[in-house]
């Protein structure tokens, strides 16, 4: 495996869960990590464990802000991780507002982040892009309608 030392890595959804763990691990390997999420305090807590990191407080659904903030940076590694799973009701009982949030973050947010970052990688013909999928992108289960749909979309992307 190539060394990650001094590599510039982006992790979205770095304020919690898998994203925070990946950010810490990348930093341990020597990468310089850009941590993205909406909750500043949580991001800063993770940043303490990641020497050389920076925090960017950003909603991945805000396409112009994502382009503005991430488009001006160059990354060797992009971990497109921010996502959520809310709403476990069967379709007739679900909440369309919750569905919108899940689709916005898990599908449009992921597209926004790649839109802002992949161009520079392609230009340099170098870089690694990782998109967090799920078994929900391969299977479906009762109550998982919308989340599974977004993770099937993730797989397509
Ligand atoms: N946990 C699992 O068992 C599991 C299994 C398969 C796949 N996954 C996938 O792995 C990824 C991470 O899951 P997780 O369990 O670690 O989730 P989590 O603990 O709920 O963390 C989600 C992260 O995404 C960020 N986020 C959410 N909405 C955002 C937005 N609009 N803009 C920017 N950041 C946003 C949150 O930060 P803020 O709230 O601070 O913005 C947080 O850092 C997701 O894509 C999920 O679908 C998880």
**Residue 87 to residue 32: CA distance in whole angstroms:** 35
pLDDT, position 23: 98
Domains, in order of start, for the chain: 8-156 (3.40.50.720)
Structure tokens at 14: 């770095």
Which atom of ligand 1 is found nearest the CA of 12?
Answer: 34
Condensed to tens digits (0 to 9), the pLDDT of residues 100-132 reads 999 999 999 999 999 999 999 999 999 999 999
pLDDT, position 1: 63
Condensed to tens digits (0 to 9), the pLDDT of residues 26-35 reads 999 999 999 9
Q: Which of 147, 148, 151, 154 is catalytic?
A: 147
Look up 141 and say whether it is catalytic.
no
Instruction: Name the residue with the closest Cα to ligand 1, atom 19.
Output: 17
Condensed to tens digits (0 to 9), the pLDDT of residues 61-86 reads 999 999 999 999 999 999 999 999 99
Please tell me the distance between residue 37's alpha carbon and the centre of ligand 1 in angstroms: 9
pLDDT reading at 47 higher than 90 = yes
pLDDT, position 2: 76
Average pLDDT over residues 145-157: 97
Condensed to tens digits (0 to 9), the pLDDT of residues 2-27 reads 799 999 999 999 999 999 999 999 99
């Amino acid at each position: 495996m190539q060394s990650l030392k001094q590599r510039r890595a982006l992790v979205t959804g770095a304020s919690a869960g898998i994203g925070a763990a990946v950010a810490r691990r990348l930093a341990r390997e020597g990468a310089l990590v850009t941590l993205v999420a909406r909750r500043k305090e949580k991001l800063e807590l993770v940043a303490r464990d990641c020497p050389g990191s920076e925090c960017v407080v950003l909603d991945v659904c805000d396409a112009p802000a994502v382009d503005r903030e991430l488009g001006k940076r160059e990354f060797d590694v992009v971990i497109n991780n921010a996502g959520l799973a809310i709403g476990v009701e069967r379709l007739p009982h679900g909440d369309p507002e919750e569905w919108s949030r899940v689709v916005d973050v898990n599908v449009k947010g992921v597209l926004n982040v790649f839109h802002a970052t992949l161009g520079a990688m392609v230009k340099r013909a170098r870089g690694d892009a990782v998109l967090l999928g799920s078994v929900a992108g391969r299977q479906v289960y009762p109550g998982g309608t919308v989340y599974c749909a977004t993770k099937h979309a993730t797989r397509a992307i």
